[in-house]
Structure 1
Amino acid sequence: MSKEFVEKVRINLGEGIAGSVAESGKAILLEDISSDPRVAHREMVAAEGLKAYICVPLRAKDKVLGVLNVASRMPRKFTTNDMHLLYAIGDQLGIAIEHARLYERLRKARERLRRLARQNLVAEEEERRRIARELHDETSQSLSGIALQLQALIEMSTISGKKDDEYVSGLKKVQSLTVQVHKEVSRLISNLHPALLDTLGLVPAVRQHAETRLQPLGIKISVETKGNDRRFSPEVEAALFRFIQGATGNIAQHSKAKTAAIVLEFKPNTFILTISDNGQGFNVSEITDVEESGRGRGLFSMRERIGFLGGISGIESEIGKGTTVWARIPIGQEVEYAENKSPGS
Structure 2
Amino acid sequence: MIKEHAADERTLGAWQQRLDRAAGLLGYVALLVATALALLVPVPTARSARVTLPAAAAALLWLLLRSALDRRPGPDGRARYGGAHFLGLLAVTTVLVLDNPIYGFFAFTGYLHASRYLEERARVVGTAAAAVPTTLAQTGGVLPTSGTQAGGFLAVLAFNLVVVGILLALSEVADRLSRRRKEANAELAEANRLLTEMLAENAGLHAQLLVQAREAGAADERRRLAREMHDTVAQGLAGIVTQLQAADQAREQHAPAKQWQRHLDSAAALARESLTQARRAVHALRPLELERAALPEALAELVEQWRERNSAAAGLTVTGEARPLHPEVEVTLLRIAQESLANAAKYARASRIGLTLSYMPDLVTLDVRDDGVGFDPAAEPASRATGGGYGLTVMRRRAERLAGRLDLETEPGAGTTVSATLPAISTEE
TM category, shorter: 0.3 to 0.5
> Greater strand share, 1 or 2?
1
Q: From the CA coordinates, give the structure whose radius of gyration is larger.
A: 2
Structure 1 length as normaliser, TM-score? 0.45
> Greater helix share, 1 or 2?
2
